[in-house]
């Protein structure tokens, strides 16, 4: 069996391990404690999150001179959300590239750039909030800060580097082209030109990042709403940051939809506040469902 087929099973195996370590009966009984009205309220908050994400994505499309209506953006978002939730590392989200191309009538390369910038800014926003969260958790989890600091610096540096066409061209020129047959080099040049067509300037990225940060907070707030079904003494800002850290851990491509990794991370983080494993597990899984 190929390793790329084995890796996504790691999170699933971890999920099963946690499930049976806690006990299925405990988890089921804990699920039943969740107040229906709170779960419904958390679900309702999905609507403003969806609208805000769609407005942000449409704004990015506008920056790239790609015309698409808000209803179409919402439709594509919902489709890609489904596929992203059931694939390792959320790679299913990139199915939206096909739909954007059909709606905007533009090149596939331009749609790839659009999707990559959208995903990258979301990841950077999540890393930034996780880095802030790691500062608050220095006493209980000192290893989180250097990990997220390193990840944030590296990811941001790579993003800024490739946002400039000249640097992208040079990278391809020296690291990619020498290994490509001559008959394909012209096609590579054309594709590279299309990838950087109408790419937004770096000065526009902070505006997109503000959207992303708000989106991360709303998503974590949905999880916090569900957590109010239980008697937990975790300050709201700490809980929200912990939830974001768990979601970032769940984005690793070692699980399907973050299953297992996200739950295990939140169980570990909330343990320092005396939250039992079954409650933390149920909160994390319920949050995913919203």
- Residues 103-116 pLDDT 10s: 888 888 899 999 99
Would residue 65 be called left, alpha or beta, if left means φ above 0 and alpha means ψ between -120 and 50 degrees?
A: left
User: Alpha carbon of 121 to those of 112, 143, 206, 222, 282: distances in Å?
Assistant: 14, 24, 9, 21, 29
Largest CA distance in the chain: 66
Q: How far apart are CA 221 and CA 267, in angstroms?
A: 17
Domain ranges for the chain, please list them. 29-163+199-289
Q: How far apart are CA 65 and CA 286, in angstroms?
A: 38
Model confidence pTM above 0.75: yes
**Strand positions, DSSP E, the chain:** none
Q: How far apart are CA 98 and CA 180, in angstroms?
A: 26
pLDDT in tens, 233-268: 899 999 999 999 999 988 776 777 677 788 889 999
Q: Which residues pair with 256 in a beta bridge?
A: 88
Which of 277, 282, 248 lies closest to 262 in space, CA to CA? 248
Would residue 12 be called left, alpha or beta, if left means φ above 0 and alpha means ψ between -120 and 50 degrees?
A: alpha
Rg (CA), the chain: 21
CB-count burial class (<10 Å; 0-12, 13-18, 19+) for 183: exposed
Residue 13: both structure tokens together: 């195996």
Q: How far apart are CA 158 and CA 153, in angstroms?
A: 9
pLDDT in 10s for each residue of the chain, 290 residues: 455 556 666 667 777 877 788 888 888 898 889 999 999 999 999 999 999 999 999 999 999 999 999 999 999 999 988 887 777 666 778 888 888 988 888 888 899 999 999 999 999 999 999 999 999 999 889 999 999 999 999 999 999 998 888 887 777 777 666 767 766 667 777 777 778 888 899 999 999 999 999 999 999 999 999 999 998 889 999 999 999 999 998 877 677 767 778 888 999 999 999 899 999 999 998 887 77
């Amino acid at each position: 069996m190929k390793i790329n087929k084995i890796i996504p099973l790691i999170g699933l195996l971890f999920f099963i391990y946690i499930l049976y370590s806690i006990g299925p009966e405990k988890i089921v009984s804990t699920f039943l404690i969740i107040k229906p009205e709170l779960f419904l309220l958390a679900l309702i908050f999905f609507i403003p999150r969806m609208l805000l994400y769609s407005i942000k994505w449409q704004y990015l499309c506008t920056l790239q001179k790609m015309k698409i209506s808000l209803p179409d953006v919402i439709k594509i978002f919902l489709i890609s959300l489904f596929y992203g939730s059931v694939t390792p590392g959320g790679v299913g989200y990139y199915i939206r590239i096909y739909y954007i191309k059909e709606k905007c009538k533009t090149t596939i390369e331009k749609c790839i750039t659009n999707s990559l910038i959208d995903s990258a800014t979301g990841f950077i926003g999540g890393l930034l909030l996780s880095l802030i969260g790691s500062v608050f958790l220095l006493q209980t989890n000192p290893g989180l800060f250097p990990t997220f600091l390193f990840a944030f610096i590296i990811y941001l540096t790579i993003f800024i580097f490739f946002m400039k066409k000249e640097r992208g061209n040079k990278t391809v020129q020296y690291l990619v082209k020498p290994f490509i047959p001559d008959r394909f080099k012209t096609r590579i040049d054309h594709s590279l030109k299309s990838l950087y067509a109408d790419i937004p300037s770096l000065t526009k990225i902070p505006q997109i990042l503000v959207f992303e940060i708000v989106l991360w907070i709303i998503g974590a707030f949905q999880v916090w709403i569900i957590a109010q079904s239980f008697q937990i003494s975790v300050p709201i800002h700490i809980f929200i940051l912990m939830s974001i850290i768990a979601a970032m851990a769940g984005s690793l491509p070692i699980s399907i939809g973050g299953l297992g990794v996200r739950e295990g991370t939140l169980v570990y983080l909330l343990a320092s506040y005396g939250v039992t494993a079954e409650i933390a597990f149920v909160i994390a899984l319920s949050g995913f469902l919203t």
